[in-house]
A and B are shown apart, each in its own frame.
Chain A
């Protein structure tokens, strides 16, 4: 039912977002969350050009809210809402004025917790709008033609070839602009992101 996207598309969406407390939701099974959060932490940092913090919530809303306020990172990934009750979500919703980050937040939720949020946190839901995605594993974001077109745009923009980009990434000399992260993703060399 929800919009299903690849992690590449999700990162492109995050990268296109401006400064201004943009919240998104990724719905994945709880057992996959840990690994996903690790992956997101490094890659979101490239695409947003800012530091990314991770909050593993406990069953205490005020502690989570305190962390959101105190963490110095402009972008946060918050996860482990499995034990949050309707009361927890209501309280979180009531505290919405305290939840502003300079850049944004990704909530990693399971099917169960996203339903709780949409039932008991209407204010936060109104912030999120359409930015709720399920993660499609092993899917290609772009057709071959679309990929080639994107790569061509990046070649024209930088004046560099694919080979040069990979070499620069391996030498850790790639500038931090998000386009280079996107480029490596398009080349299937996500392993070089963050180097």
Chain B
């Protein structure tokens, strides 16, 4: 393989948006965000109140998982608190999530810590959790004729993952969870569970029910809890629930790279940490930051695409023209599937700078990152900068 291809593949691999955030942290690519980090706030609060509950809400690609993983790492360093990180989507089918599932998963994970426990009551609780979580099979023998012929049938009871019809969390499951958490505490200390992936649950009603039931159940068992939620839940009719059932609520808006110098410097530092000196020209860095819209994943993705354009062009350094080519493709792609009505909302928002995230259609534009929300220093909404030139072309 040529040195040039090898070099460019290496450059691109530093900007891999789909890679597990844990790998990015381990590769030394993690850069502290400006101001007080959400991860630090969460971990400091958990250190003081291990059984507290936290909800972190933010848009796609805003860095929520990274914050969760950093908070988890911070907690490990505390010593007497044991963090468990769970990506729910790897555990169960999120589209079938219902109340009770989180509690059952918490029970299953803590049970794994104490599988060699000899206490009969604790083992009964572990069995109960497994039964509720995964169901059970039992053989039932019954007489099928007058002449005492017997037939054995295997009866399978469905487990709670995915739960079928129940609403709420059964008292027996809560008690069992409490018992296994207590049994684990001498060796592991206080347990805190970090549930990732719930931001992909797009049904705000189910999400609200989970907060109402599972958060309460897990808290009763004296277990700390950190959840990630989606923007949809923040702008739904159930948004009040978000703050009512948890001790702490955090929102991660987009970074306002246009108005907040610290946010701009943060993005600049990300680019410089991941690329070799002088490979990306200063003007190109400025454009990458501008067109990312302050969305971390878009910064990473646009930079990688710009490196690809640089490779194909035969140039050695990433220049403005490469960024503009990548931005053009990105902007066009983001408008795929958009309806005429949504396009009109984008045009109106672009021209008037006014947007109200109330109707479902408007919230969808936020969730899909076509419209971005900033809160520095006050709330404002803009059409994603990479889409703006396309909107201008369409309505010219």
Contact = CB atoms under 8 A, between A and B. Distances in A.
A16 B5 contact: yes
Contacts of B197: 94, 97
A98 B336 contact: no
B73 interface: no
* Secondary structure of the B contact surface, majority rule: helix
Given A122-B367, A129-B305, A94 B95 contact: yes
B369 A122 contact: yes
A9 B312 contact: yes
Contacts of A81: none
Interface stretch (A28-36, A111-119, A163-171, A185-193): A111-119
B60 interface: yes
Given A15-B5, A17-B9, A149 B314 contact: yes
A129 B19 contact: no
A3 B329 contact: yes
Interface stretch (A18-26, A38-46, A50-58, A72-80): A18-26
Nearest to A150: B314
Interface residue range, chain B: 35 or more
B80 interface: no
Interface residues of A, number: 50
A67 interface: no
A62 interface: yes
Contacts of A153: 314
B366 to A, nearest CB: 10
Nearest to A141: B312
Given A9-B312, A18-B9, A18-B13, A100 B333 contact: no
Interface in A81-99: 87, 90-91, 93-98
A132 B336 contact: yes
B200 A16 contact: no
B212 interface: no
Contacts of A15: 5
B308 interface: yes
A115 B337 contact: yes
B10 interface: yes
A130 B312 contact: no
B18 A100 contact: yes
Contact of B330 (A12, A23, A129): A129
A97 B13 contact: no
A149 B312 CA distance: 12
Given A20-B18, A122-B369, A2 B200 contact: no
Contacts of A128: 333
A179 B330 CA distance: 27
A12 B89 CA distance: 34
Contacts of A117: 336-337
A96 B5 CA distance: 29
Given A17-B9, A126-B61, A177-B1, A131 B305 contact: yes
A127 B17 contact: yes
29 contacts: A2-B332, A2-B336, A3-B333, A12-B312, A15-B5, A17-B9, A18-B10, A19-B9, A21-B18, A21-B19, A91-B93, A93-B200, A96-B89, A97-B90, A97-B197, A122-B367, A122-B369, A123-B60, A123-B200, A125-B333, A126-B301, A127-B301, A129-B333, A130-B301, A130-B327, A153-B314, A177-B2, A178-B1, A179-B5
Given A1-B332, A132-B333, 14 more contacts: A2-B336, A3-B329, A3-B333, A13-B312, A16-B308, A97-B90, A122-B60, A122-B368, A123-B200, A127-B18, A130-B301, A130-B329, A132-B332, A177-B2
Interface of A: 1-3, 9, 12-13, 15-23, 49, 62, 87, 90-91, 93-98, 100, 114-119, 122-123, 125-132, 149-150, 153, 157, 177-179
